[in-house]
Amino acid sequence: MDIVVCGAQKPFVRGGAEQHQENLVAALEAAGHRVDLVRLPVAWEKGRLFDSPLAWRMVPIDADLVIATNFPSYFVQHPNKVVWLLHQHRGAYDGFEAGASWSDFDWDDVSLEEQRLMTEWDIAALSEAQKVFSNSGVVSRRLARFNGLDSTPLAHPPPLHDVLHPGGFGDYVLSVQRQEANKRPQLLVEAMTRVAAPTRAVMAGRGELLEQLRGQVAGAGLSGRVELPGFVADDELVELYAGALAVVYVPEDEDYGYTTLQAFYAGKPVICAADSGAVLDWVEDGVTGLVCDGTPDGLAAAVRRLAEDPGLAQRLGAAGRERVAGLSWADVVARLTAP
Amino acid sequence: MTAPVRLAVHIGRDVPDGLNAVLSALPPGVQPVAASEREALPEGVVAHLYCSDVRPRRPVAPYAVWWMAGEDAAPAAGAGVPVLADAGHGRPDDLQVSLRAWPEHARPVLPFTRAGLRRVRELPARLVGESRSDGVSWGVPGEQPAVAARDTWPTLAALASAVVATGEDLWTALAWAAPAVTDAASARLLGLTPGEDVLVDDDPAVRTRLAAGLADDELRAAGLARRGWQAACCRRPAAVAAELCRRLGVRPPAHSTVSGLTAAMDELGTPPHSLVRRRARAATAGLPGAVTSGWRPDREEHP
């Protein structure tokens, strides 16, 4: 088949959604399809909210199948449209509800009318699709609660899944993420002030909070015990996963989160927070990881527990590895392209 | 010049109530033409619509059947044959037509948005509206409801966590995407599926309790609100005409006068004075026809 994968991108920003779209293209090509990836820019602020959806509405796509991914690419019109929803415009929905700093919706009539219209447009565009999948239970629940729409969660393997491998259980916990507010990296830094040496933390990844975090580490006297190396190359990252005691991932209401799955492929337990969203689709407290209360004290207690009992870390990590054993891109492709 | 795309319509002695409205709402570029087996077909016919009392033994494909109200036996809908019917007379999968007027200014307001509207107006977080033959009331479930003027019903339909209504007031509630509870007769008359589009019970006290339950269950309320609203929308003649064309594979000629940004925004339900219409117009001001290719002479353009 000739398949067009549609995705939105904020210029100069690259994250999980862009990786996801490119991996999907590769998997479709591996299955013998001819595939192109079409992206249009998106702006998130309220005043320009509807511009990009409208642009997608007018984009002519000639293909046998269109697979739309993130907001607002699913506004594309095509008789054979399948949606694999990574996220909607979160600022108009859960971010608005939570009063998140990254949502510019306020409790006033203008915001509510924009939000209402966004809801109506989303229902119209998503109802046109032959099938609607989501990338996680969290995204499906949001779609059901805000738009009254049904969807089927469809999980996929993360990047590096084919090279990640188990190893020893070292003296450090690992965090792999962009250092940004919604990932709450400062929680781990604060938690480490409550964890005794020799347990260390390695926090891989760049982001707008990186320098601020480095300052926080120095200020807390944690230099040497908390490393913030910034960008880490893939081969080094694989070995960091392999040697970790556990992986810490405590984002706020994550849509999917590759870190959790990568940790499981490496046989490591994941410490997350009770409000970490789709991470909880995978992390079951005491089974595949530990779920803390999202406070520095709670996170520190979870780290200490695994540091004091590496056997527990090993058991939880093994269960996590078993949990992801069934994931495959071939299955994803089969379900997305099924007639 | 582009050849017309025609739908041949085969009618017997009786004309279905909704037929004229549906044919009037066919997409621009698709013309209905009267046809019979005894006469040659006009040029450009691409599909047929038969009233069930004149359907021949071997209809010409592609075709649809309008199930006449007087006929008891439903047409045996073959694979891919659309069946139309007046609302209340069809089966769940049929294209049912309602001639009820769509409430002016109605917009779908799903539970999250209506909760926000109540919040900014300092109304109760849980609020149920009820329409009965003796009047309209509203209040917090479990407390004594307040009586309201009948003409406040659209406002309640837009703001309440859930509503109890029958007849015309149910139609209004669905147009505002209110999670609704009704009786079996009203659900049947509008061709609604109980448990999917609306909750149904014939005992008024039970209906009140069901609405109170919906006020506490945002997830279920959202599903009902969306499905009830879409079910009502689907009964409108223009929606039936569009769906009929889609199922029959009837496509308007390319370069139809209705294309461009205006049509795209209309299809998404954009209100006439919304900001995005102004932005689209401003963005394309230097590109003649980008917006106005969808302009319709019978409608005011929105500055």
Does residue B151 share a domain with residue B73? Answer: no
Mean predicted confidence (pLDDT) in A86-109 = 93
Distance CA A242, CA A162 (A): 13
Does residue B217 share a domain with residue B136? Answer: yes
Does residue A282 share a domain with residue A143? Answer: no
Does residue B225 share a domain with residue B242? Answer: no
Reported as a single tens digit per residue, the pLDDT across A264-301 is 999 999 999 999 988 999 999 999 999 999 999 999 99
Kindly tell me if the per-residue pLDDT of B301 is higher than 60: no
Nearest C-alpha neighbor of A265 from the set A312, A316, A314, A321? A321
Which of B255, B268, B270, B273 to probe the A interface (max A CBs under 10 A)?
Answer: B268
Reported as a single tens digit per residue, the pLDDT across A39-78 is 999 988 888 889 999 999 989 899 999 999 999 999 999 9
Look up the domain containing B177 and give its range. Answer: 111-231
Does residue B78 share a domain with residue B51? Answer: yes
pLDDT at A257: 83
Residues 56-115 of B with CB under 8 A from A: 107-110, 112-113
B302 burial class (0-12, 13-18, 19+ CB within 10 angstroms)?
A: middle
Does residue B284 share a domain with residue B135? Answer: no
Instruction: Tell me how close the Cα of A214 comes to any Cα of chain B, in angstroms.
Output: 40
Q: Is residue A198 part of a domain?
A: yes
pLDDT at B26: 93
Q: Is residue B254 part of a domain?
A: no
**Number of folded domains in chain A?**
2
Look up the domain containing A31 and give its range. Answer: 2-157+328-337
Q: Is residue B255 part of a domain?
A: no
* Domain containing residue A282: CATH number: 3.40.50.2000
Most confident of A243-247, B15-19, B68-72: A243-247
Does residue A137 share a domain with residue A36? Answer: yes
Does residue B272 share a domain with residue B172? Answer: no
pLDDT at B77: 59
**Number of folded domains in chain B?**
3
Which of A116, A118, A142, A151 to probe the B interface (max B CBs under 10 A)?
Answer: A116
A177 with A272: CB under 8 angstroms? no
Does residue B201 share a domain with residue B117? Answer: yes
Kindly provide the ipTM of the predicted complex, given to two decimals: 0.87
Does residue B220 share a domain with residue B116? Answer: yes
Does residue B243 share a domain with residue B198? Answer: no
Does residue A291 share a domain with residue A199? Answer: yes
Distance CA A277, CA A270 (A): 14
pLDDT at B226: 98
Instruction: Tell me how close the Cα of B225 comes to any Cα of chain A, in angstroms.
Output: 7
> For A197-215, b where at least 16 C-beta lie within 10 A, e where not — what string?
eebbbbbbbebebbeebbe
Which percentage of chain A shows pLDDT scores above 90? Answer: 88
Is A116 at the interface with chain B, CB within 8 A?
Answer: yes
Q: Which two tokens stand for residue B147?
A: 């009586």
Does residue A183 share a domain with residue A122? Answer: no
Report chain A residues whose CB lies below 8 A from the CB of B226.
Answer: 123, 147-149
Distance CA A112, CA A205 (A): 36
Which percentage of chain B shows pLDDT scores above 90? Answer: 63
Q: Do A54 and B265 touch (CB under 8 A)?
A: yes
Confidence of residue B294 (pLDDT cuts 50, 70, 90): very low
Distance CA B235, CA B228 (A): 11
pLDDT at B293: 46
Characterize the bridge pairing of strands A172-176 and A246-248: parallel
Q: Which two tokens stand for residue B238?
A: 């223009």
Which of B112, B159, B227, B261 to probe the A interface (max A CBs under 10 A)?
Answer: B112
Half-sphere exposure of B104 (CA within 13 A, CB side): 0
Does residue A18 share a domain with residue A152? Answer: yes
pLDDT at B201: 98
Most confident of A63-77, B90-104, B250-264: A63-77
Q: Do B261 and A58 touch (CB under 8 A)?
A: yes
Does residue A190 share a domain with residue A237? Answer: yes
Helices (H), chain B: 19-24, 111-120, 153-159, 167-175, 184-189, 204-215, 218-235, 237-248, 260-267, 275-283
pLDDT at A1: 95
Report chain A residues whose CB lies below 8 A from the CB of B255.
Answer: none
Q: Do A112 and B113 touch (CB under 8 A)?
A: yes
Does residue A206 share a domain with residue A119? Answer: no
Residue A253 C-alpha from the chain's centroid: 9
Does residue A78 share a domain with residue A29? Answer: yes
Mean predicted confidence (pLDDT) in A100-110 = 92
Does residue B93 share a domain with residue B242? Answer: yes
Report chain A residues whose CB lies below 8 A from the CB of B260.
Answer: 58
Distance CA A327, CA A256 (A): 14
Nearest C-alpha neighbor of A257 from the set A106, A96, A86? A86
Residue A259 C-alpha from the chain's centroid: 8
Q: Is residue A120 part of a domain?
A: yes
Does residue A17 share a domain with residue A44? Answer: yes
Distance CA A5, CA A39 (A): 8
Is A211 at the interface with chain B, CB within 8 A?
Answer: no
Distance CA A170, CA A259 (A): 18
Q: Is residue B18 part of a domain?
A: yes
Q: SS3 for B233?
A: helix
Kindly tell me if the per-residue pLDDT of B303 is higher than 50: no
Does residue A135 share a domain with residue A72? Answer: yes
Rounded to the nearest integer, the mean pLDDT of chain B is 87
pLDDT at B10: 94
pLDDT at B28: 80
Reported as a single tens digit per residue, the pLDDT across B200-220 is 999 999 999 999 999 999 999
Nearest to B269 among A51, A120, A147 (CB): A120
Reported as a single tens digit per residue, the pLDDT across A239-274 is 999 999 999 999 988 888 899 999 999 999 999 999
Is B249 at the interface with chain A, CB within 8 A?
Answer: no
pLDDT at A95: 92
Nearest to A147 among B110, B267, B268 (CB): B110
Q: SS3 for B58?
A: coil
Q: Which two tokens stand for residue B210?
A: 């069901």
Reported as a single tens digit per residue, the pLDDT across B24-41 is 999 888 999 999 878 888
B133 phi and psi, to 5 degrees?
A: -60, -25
Mean predicted confidence (pLDDT) in A309-322 = 98
Q: Do A51 and B109 touch (CB under 8 A)?
A: no
Q: Do A148 and B268 touch (CB under 8 A)?
A: no
Does residue B225 share a domain with residue B116? Answer: yes
Mean predicted confidence (pLDDT) in B237-250 = 93
Considering only residues B104 and B289, tell me which one the structure prediction assigns the higher pLDDT.
B104
Report chain A residues whose CB lies below 8 A from the CB of B117.
Answer: 109, 112
Nearest C-alpha neighbor of A147 from the set B158, B219, B157, B195? B219
Q: Is residue A162 part of a domain?
A: no
Does residue A134 share a domain with residue A52? Answer: yes
Phi-psi region of A64 (alpha: psi -120 to 50; beta: other; left: phi over 0): alpha
Distance CA B80, CA B251 (A): 17
Q: Do B268 and A145 touch (CB under 8 A)?
A: no
Does residue A265 share a domain with residue A243? Answer: yes
Does residue B180 share a domain with residue B206? Answer: yes
Question: B202: how many CB neighbours lie within 10 A of its CB?
Answer: 10
Nearest C-alpha neighbor of B206 from the set B189, B230, B227, B182? B182
pLDDT at B254: 59
pLDDT at A188: 98
